[in-house]
Amino acid sequence: MDLLKDTTKQADFRREFVYGRQMSLAAPAAFVATYSDAFETGSSYVFAQELAPCGDLLAAVSPPHRGGLGETRTKRVARQLAGALAFLHARRLVHRDVKPENVMLWDAGCRLVKLGDFGVARRSGTVVCRVCAGTAYTAPEVLRPKIISVLPVAGLQLKKFCLYIMTCHIILHKNSLK
């Protein structure tokens, strides 16, 4: 992962690296491995992550792969993502950026998928003053301009919302979400 210093605070880089490393060690089947080496260059912060042989979920449902994943593969993805999110929630961590681009595939049949990118993850109860750029998977209440607290219950509701929207998107592959 290469993060430009111009757009990334060192504290944000450290948080992403530490959360990614901790989660990948605690549950290697659920999260993209973050390796122990991290360093900085003149212009970037860098750490190494596991390569996903089949890319990300967005690529798997985007053209030329029309028609989404189908029911069987979608169920596999949803089951594994729900497990990864439950694991995070049990450790009072809120991912905050669940989307197809952050779900990595290890095989075309979706027998193994892993969640990655802890760049905006926060501990439950953390007060956040900004929201990431909205995506089609962002819950509407998150887009309201105000200071919000990442609460366990709210985090769980957002996870359910994101999982539902992503599941609909990958099974149906409706471009209207873009």
Provide the annotated active-site residues: 97
Computed on alpha carbons and rounded to an integer, the radius of gyration of the chain in Å comes to: 16
CA distance 17 to 137: 24
CA distance 31 to 49: 10
CA distance 157 to 103: 19
Question: Rounded to whole angstroms, what are the CA distances from 158 to 3, 9, 30, 55, 102?
Answer: 26, 26, 19, 25, 16
- In contact, 119 and 4? CB cutoff 8 Å: no
Q: Pairing relation of β-strands 122-123 and 93-94?
A: antiparallel
